[in-house]
Structure 1
Amino acid sequence: MTKTFSQHAVDKINSIMNDHSNHVGSQLKIGNPTKYKNHISSDCITLAIWVLKYSFEKLGKLNSSKRVGGLGEKGTELAKYLINTHNWKGVYYNPDVKHPSDGLGEHIASYYNQVKKNCTYSVSRVPISNTVINYKPSKNKVTTYLDLTKKQDADYNTFSNIPFGLGMSSGGRHVWLYSKEFVYESHWEKEAGDGLYTKTQLKMFPWLSGIIVVPPDTHNLLTITSTNCK
């Protein structure tokens, strides 16, 4: 049976997570090229590109693999390419759209000024089809005139079945991978065995808003809230 894009992506993630002794964060290699001359340089966008390129190649889509390899400079442009060219869907996540636990207004603005108003994310206007929000409300108010958020975890629980997605936060500044509720990251200032790669539940993820774009083979599982900006 032919594997899907998501299955190939998960295979690659598991391969990297299980065998990366010769990997090192890109900033460490830049800072000490002699020490790390035999190491493979890794960072957040590089990890994502590795997995995307591998998966497209496994499906025989070599031009697409080459294209994503050239879009590593800006996460949001990569997301738009996947959505507009390969029919991926953008899903916005935010554990509390009114009262972010870190107190940063960007999480409120990204929902109310972008997703809810225009069905897009960031100044790059990445199209958003669905939302997973308010699954871990804050206990304290940030926006004083708004009521505390009521917990809504049905969409979160459904989305936890999605096998693969490409995630990004802070307008695309940070890029990561998603699989069945967990975020997979590469940290450019770390060594192998010292936190270079991490796996974190989405509800515990410190980057409190952003998007996860998911391939067509997952869309039958995407029975969550849709955006409506007509």
Structure 2
Amino acid sequence: MSAAFAEVGNSEAKNTIWKKGHSGIITAQYLVSNLGWETVYINADINHPADGENKHPLAYLQQVKRDGKYYNVPVHHAMTNYRPTDKESAQEQGLWKIYKSRGLKVGPTTLNIVDYNTMRKVPFGFGVSNGGMHTWLFSEGYVYEVHWDGIGASLYEKTPLNLFNWLSGVIIVPKDSSGLLKSLPQVARHLHE
């Protein structure tokens, strides 16, 4: 990203991103706070994460929905339920059992293809998952990763977002593309404006 900012003549952003590059969250905060980029919280299936880990629905409920942030990164929009977990797997997950034990009823997730198709129009974004531990690039519905333990062809990977293994996180979109996000649900915008 530093090289991209250098290419467009923004040396301040180039230097800052280079210094902050050790943490996806710090980089995301800078892009939002200093350059006016907008964030889209992503979660493949809010109630039934395919990996069975409660961190995905809890991040949504306890951070995004309540505070309007993802690990202190302000969240503007949300794109959720773009890959519902199959019904059989959903019933075996810890969160489902917690809901059931409390007498809460959570049915199967409905596919949200409309918001997913909106994101497929976004030409570029910076992605952060797992609280900033994993970073990646996004373009027109695809995730681009560099695997530091890979060599040759296994160094880079291109994956459709709806098949991406990291089930939740944020995509930070440059402000010149933020108009494409207008149809996405807004998230607690008043908390960070």
- With the shorter chain as reference, the TM-score category is 0.7 to 0.9
- Aligned-pair CA distance for 1:54: 2.0
- Between structure 1 and structure 2, the one with the greater Rg is 1
2:75 touches 2:189 (CA, 8 Å); kept in 1?
no
What is the TM-score when the length of structure 2 is the normalising length? 0.88
- Aligned-pair CA distance for 1:228: 2.4
CA–CA distance in structure 1, aligned partners of residues 119 and 49 of structure 2? 21
- Aligned-pair CA distance for 1:151: 1.5
> What are the residue-to-residue correspondences of 1:77-226 with 2, within 5 Å?
77-122=26-71, 125-139=72-86, 140-141=90-91, 142=93, 143-144=96-97, 145=99, 146-193=106-153, 195-223=154-182, 224-226=184-186
Equivalent residue number for residue 103 of structure 2: none
2:47 touches 2:109 (CA, 8 Å); kept in 1?
yes
2:128 touches 2:169 (CA, 8 Å); kept in 1?
yes
CA–CA distance in structure 2, aligned partners of residues 70 and 229 of structure 1? 29
2:76 touches 2:189 (CA, 8 Å); kept in 1?
no
Number of residues paired by the alignment? 176
AA at the equivalent of 1:210: G
Query: RMSD between aligned alpha carbons?
Result: 1.1
**4+ residue segments displaced more than 4 Å:** none
Unaligned runs of 5+ in 2: 100-105
Unaligned runs of 5+ in 1: 1-51
- SS of the aligned residue for 1:70 comes to helix
Cα distance per residue 1:76-130 (max 9 Å; x no partner): 01100010000001110011000001001110111111111111002xx110000
What is the TM-score when the length of structure 1 is the normalising length? 0.74
Identity of matched residues, % = 37
